[in-house]
Chain A
Amino acid sequence: MVVRYLGAEVQRMEDPRLLTGHGRYVDDMTMEGMLHAAFLRASHAHAKIRAIDTSRAAQLPGVHRVFTHADLGPKYGHRMNQLYPAPVIEVNKTQYPLSKDEVCYVGEAVAVVVADSRAIAEDAVALIDVDYEVLPAVVNIMNALEDGAPLAHADTSSNLMGRMRSQFGDIDDAFAKADHVFQAAFMQHRGGCHSMETRGCIGRDDPWGDGLTLWTSAQSPYLIRRALATWLGEPEERVRVVAPDVGGGFGPKAGFYPEEIVIPLLARFMERPVKWIEDRREHFMSTTTQRDQHWNLEVACTSEGKILGLRGKVTHENGAYIPYGILLPNSSLTPLPGAYAIPAVDVGVDIVFTNTVPNSPVRGAGRPCGIYAVERMIQTVSRNLGIDPAEVRRRNYVRPEQMPYETGATLRGGAKCVYDSGDYEALLEKALELADYAGFKERQAAARAEGRYLGIGVSSCIEDTGMGPYEGTTVRVEASGKVAVRTGAASQGQGHHTMIAMIVAENLGVSPEDILFESADTGKFPHGVGTIGSRVAANVGPSAFDAATKVREKALRLAAEVLEASEADLDIEDGVVRVNGAPDLSITLGELAIKLSPASAMRVPAGFDPLLEATSYDGSSGSPIACGSNVAEVEVDVGTGEVRVLRYSVAHDCGVMINPMIVHGQIVGGVVHGIGNALFERMIYDDQGQPLTTNYGEYLLPLASEMPRVDVTHMETPSPLNSLGVKGAGEGGTIPAAAAVVAAIENALTEFGVEIDYYPVDPQYLTGLIDRGAAQAAE
């Protein structure tokens, strides 16, 4: 009997280790002679540095050295690399690892102390004197492009970083022939990373041995290796980057940070390992966030609610520097037709610099914003035409018979955005059924009779997942019969080990427990891309599948020779190759591995190379498009403005599920992140660019006590784009959540005529809208 792992709820291989306190996160590591670093960070959002006096800090007992930009020397005096150059970047600003002469956001690294302990290093940081000439700061994207606005960088003439546009179909025609044109403008605010493990890294330089090694809490060790080696002007072969256990990533750990240059450099200067662990205040000030985006859209539609076109303008906050190219604004535009067959779109983005921490993707990147925008316009059409929002969606979905459906949008890398498979309307119906949408009106009326305000909101999304080009896997059977599996993809909790072990185990005929899994170490696997954009299952999945298939084929070919049987009669089960119908004839995979490369070096069987090993870079031939519909049911307390999500229902389709338990966890976690965006998470700067929200008493992450139970149902429409039929699942919960919650709030407050133009929807804002609506009703 062949054991089936794919599709089974296999308990995670990672867990026993993590449950017993035996994970290995960066700060859990220690090394002989290791020193500790702490950074002095800019206390002004924008200032010239006149002078830095480190003498008092350097004299503190326990301090080894203090470094500023100048102390790094001319060889290391240049700005950081632009990781994703793009023609639309008109002003290319990356930062210096340590500020040279100008700071452009509060939290920018200005100097660093190396000491015997972190505490001493912090003592010394307080003794560094910086003479700043404070410059005006630009903080608000809505006036950043006005004449006379303060400039985010002293040597530029405008805060415009660049412009992008997504344009397809005949937009003028769409608006010309529309029965109705409706407009809506709204601000979207997405918070920060807030992985429970902050960033952190250890650098070690061994010029006569291993070279430069950086252990870092990151999503993309290969990108960091490339960036670090390039910045240093040294060969990648001499730079090793390792992501050990990582306590959450969510996007902001996918980039390359100043500290990831400075810490290895300090190790080089000090000739000792150096550790830096970001503390939570630093995380608030120096880890990239997503922040503000303003949308002003018009929708053209028929009287029946059929949408003909969408046009408008987006203002996107970039922050002070460009750590991540234009990925964020780009991914805001690409989902623009959403789940709907909208023939014409013309939306442009102004990307503006502000004196705030650089912006980067956070779970979903720009997709939650793009989808929110489309869903808002669906709500606008529904409200103005008096058609049920679910019905407006039904009338506009891309239909299964239209697949593959080319939207007209362009994905990152220039590929056309093509919806590969899915039945969006069927998903909606499943979500509505799960949410008992039909019974809601009765629930709402019953509650209203008690003076309570219930509302329901729907949203649908598509998500381009699994972007290529590859994420390879090596599978090797070793003499013990255990199977070594290596890949570049770093895990921040997604369960890659389990997922890949299931794929390899099933294909190779071994148990997942026999898999020895290693990942995210550039010294152990030659190349990788990174864990971003819900891409790992759709890329590592196929490569693991393919590599295991190749190993299986090789094992069977060799076993056929050894057992003198036909390959067609062989099967592998529990690590043993057996001849069907001849149970005594068998050989283990370990024995086959020994035959290929005997320790006593006799000979390799003719026609074979020495290892029972294969490497594959098979992936997805395009971006599989996952999809989902969500229904939120909320209660609003009109006395306080509090919103409680009572019930949340998800129907989701990420293609074939490798491990439904893990998919479920990704969806639920993603939804809660999205509810956090909709209701809670807000990073506030004052008008001087000082971050005011720098602790977890004030930055409100979603807690168990406020979050609803999330009911999830799945459809499995296989993607035609890869061998497993899988699509990504990591962000599908987050992307549609804010739109569903906001629509539900408006629905609850229909009698007040509440229209929400900002999220997170906080109670004060909401009571303002309620009071205004009540006053208007009273007139």
Chain B
Amino acid sequence: MKPAPFTYHDPTSADEVVALLGRHEDAKLLAGGQSLMPMLNMRFVVPDHVIDLNGVAGLAGVRDAGDALELGAMTRQRDLMADAAIAAKAPIVPEALDWVGHFQTRNRGTIGGSLCHLDPAAELPCLMAAYDAVLKVQGPDGVREVPFAEWPLAYMMPSLGPDEVLTGIRVPHWPDSHGHGFVEFARRHGDFAIVSVAALLTVEGGKIARAAIAIGGADVRPIRLEAAEAALVGAAPSPDAFRAAGETARGIEAMSDAYVTSAYRQRLAATLVERALIRAAERANGGA
């Protein structure tokens, strides 16, 4: 199980990456390698060129831009988990990352790699869906911004042109009083999620003021439960409200695979949406 031969490139700037992508037709970008390397080893992916992003300057890091967190695409998952600004502003991120692989893979794996690989079961795309994150993509004509809702085009296929590279992600702030809950069901620790749910809530004066619910793993892309979000706004955070929100998840589009059916994913989604909302409400200030 050895990769097929390729030509290796180790550019040092994003411009150079874009230029290399322009020159080479069948090229793959290598970020943390925790998804691409297995596919190379198994020869599922057989590119002529591998362009390593690990030496590219300026792609890693976390910055609080006031109204949002700016994450470099090559920021390692381990560093996201340990970052103080993320812990303060978006504590759901480290909570979700605990479900991402294992500490050894998080030492290499990057947020950008995960968002570009776009495995339906991956946790980070689910989080970015909840946040309506904005992705910064650099191509030959400069940088464009893609709202997360427009990022997944199809199964494991991001809105990324053959000569484009993801450079950063902008995660808008929620008020400090917000509550969060990330719950997931996987067979074993670190496994692909069968279903995961990210929930964010703000509560003002005993009523839910804002809600975001994203479901990962169920379909080929993360799903936002917009109807349930709308129904929650203005309601008191209550077990009944959360159960009702969960019930709406029974109607989501869900896929079947060799292991579980879409019906089971829908059932799980209902359970997990309810649990994520309960957890988020417990953590939201301004309830009572």
Binding site for A on B (CB under 8 A): 1-5, 38, 42-43, 185, 187-192, 258-261, 264, 267-268, 271-272, 275
Contacts and interface: CB of A to CB of B under 8 A. Distances in A.
Interface string A678-721: 00100010100000110101101001011000000000000000
A642 interface: yes
B261 A764 contact: yes
A280 B2 CA distance: 11
Given A639-B275, A697-B192, A126 B43 contact: yes
Contact of A700 (B185, B188, B268): B188
A442 to B, nearest CB: 27
B261 to A, nearest CB: 7
A245 to B, nearest CB: 22
A281 B1 contact: yes
Contact of A703 (B42, B188, B258, B271): B188
Interface in A96-134: 118-119, 122-123, 126
Contact of B43 (A122, A280, A686, A762): A122
Given A118-B2, A767-B264, A684 B258 contact: yes
A771 B43 CA distance: 42
B247 to A, nearest CB: 13
A371 to B, nearest CB: 26
Contacts of A680: 187-188
Interface of A: 118-119, 122-123, 126, 279-281, 639-640, 642, 680, 684, 686, 692-693, 695, 697-698, 700, 703, 705-706, 762-764, 767-768, 771
B258 A686 contact: yes
Given A119-B2, A123-B4, A280-B1, A764 B192 contact: no
B163 to A, nearest CB: 28
B258 A764 contact: no
A119 B38 CA distance: 15
Contacts of B268: 640
Nearest to A697: B192
Nearest to B3: A119
Contacts of B261: 764
Given A705-B189, A767-B267, A123 B1 contact: no
Nearest to B267: A767
A698 B185 contact: no
Given A281-B42, A700-B191, 9 more contacts: A119-B3, A122-B43, A697-B191, A705-B189, A706-B189, A762-B259, A763-B187, A764-B260, A764-B264
A123 B264 contact: no
B269 to A, nearest CB: 11
Task: Identify the interface centre among B4, B188, B268, B275: most chain A CB within 10 Å of its CB.
Answer: B188
Contacts of A693: 258
13 contacts: A119-B5, A281-B1, A639-B271, A640-B185, A684-B259, A686-B258, A692-B258, A698-B259, A700-B188, A705-B188, A763-B185, A763-B264, A764-B260
Contacts of A279: 1
Contacts of A771: 267
B99 to A, nearest CB: 12
Given A640-B271, A684-B258, A703 B189 contact: yes
Given A118-B2, A122-B2, A639-B271, A700 B187 contact: yes
A764 B258 CA distance: 12
A640 B188 CA distance: 13
Which 3 interchain pairs have the tightest Cβ spacing?
Answer: A705-B189, A279-B1, A119-B2
Contacts of A763: 185, 187, 264
Contacts of B264: 763-764, 767-768
Nearest to B191: A697
A118 B189 CA distance: 33
A705 B186 CA distance: 12
Given A684-B258, A692-B258, A764-B264, A126 B4 contact: yes
A680 B267 CA distance: 20
Given A640-B271, A692-B258, A706 B1 contact: no
Contacts of B5: 119, 123
A324 to B, nearest CB: 27
A684 B259 CA distance: 9
A217 B271 CA distance: 47
A611 B175 CA distance: 86
Given A281-B42, A639-B275, A706 B4 contact: no
Contacts of B192: 697
A703 B190 CA distance: 10
A771 B267 CA distance: 10
B253 to A, nearest CB: 18
Contacts of A697: 191-192
A126 B46 CA distance: 11
A176 B187 CA distance: 46
Contacts of A686: 258
A768 B264 CA distance: 8
A687 to B, nearest CB: 11
A281 B1 CA distance: 8
A520 B268 CA distance: 51
Contacts of B190: 703, 705
A119 B4 CA distance: 7
B60 to A, nearest CB: 26
A719 to B, nearest CB: 39
A705 B264 CA distance: 24
A204 B282 CA distance: 68
A765 B94 CA distance: 32
A699 to B, nearest CB: 11
Nearest to B270: A639
Nearest to B1: A279
Contacts of A695: 38, 42
Contacts of B1: 122, 279-281
B118 to A, nearest CB: 16
B67 to A, nearest CB: 37
Contacts of A700: 187-188, 191
A126 B42 CA distance: 12
Contacts of A692: 258
Contacts of A281: 1, 42
B85 to A, nearest CB: 29
A265 to B, nearest CB: 24
Contacts of A122: 1-2, 4, 43
A586 to B, nearest CB: 56
B271 to A, nearest CB: 4
Contacts of B4: 122-123, 126
Nearest to B268: A640
Nearest to B195: A640
Contacts of B191: 697, 700
A400 to B, nearest CB: 42
Nearest to A638: B271
A771 B250 CA distance: 14
A562 B187 CA distance: 70
Contacts of B271: 639-640
Contacts of A118: 2
Contacts of B188: 680, 700, 703, 705-706
A697 B191 CA distance: 7
B258 A642 contact: no
Task: Identify the interface centre among A640, A680, A703: most chain B CB within 10 Å of its CB.
Answer: A640
Nearest to B185: A640
Nearest to A700: B187
Contacts of A639: 271, 275
Contacts of A767: 264, 267
Contacts of A640: 185, 268, 271-272
Contacts of A698: 258-259
A705 B190 CA distance: 9
Contacts of B258: 684, 686, 692-693, 698
Contacts of A703: 188-190
B12 to A, nearest CB: 28
Contacts of B275: 639
A686 B256 CA distance: 14
A639 B185 CA distance: 10
